[in-house]
Amino acid sequence: MSSSIKSFKPLFDRVLVQRLRNSDIKTGGGIYIPDKLANKTHEAIVIEVGTGRRTVNGFAPPLLKKGDRILLNESPLGEKITVNGIECEILSENEVLGFMGN
């Protein structure tokens, strides 16, 4: 992860993520799953998180944190951006299907 990405800070309940390539998906036995056979969810790494969701009393803290491995839908829901040559996405925290922690 580049230090230039670390300097980007999403707002509110948004998270900056970097998707892992499908070819990185393998079974517990070490067999790589081809793209066409992989399920339609994708893994990503949380690079940076915002301050949290706005509430009547201020902010609710984000559930995700830097370094969390998360699952996303195949189709991009957020905005694709390039930060110093590295492809990332900005998503709302509620677009994340689940997370595995660090």
The residue whose two tokens read 């499908």 is 22
Poorest-pLDDT segment among 26-30, 80-84, 88-92, 98-102 = 26-30
CA–CA separation, 100 vs 43, rounded Å?
Answer: 10
Poorest-pLDDT segment among 32-41, 46-55, 67-76, 89-98 = 32-41
Residue 35 has pLDDT above 70, yes or no: no
Domains of the chain (ranges plus CATH)? Answer: 3-99 (2.30.33.40)
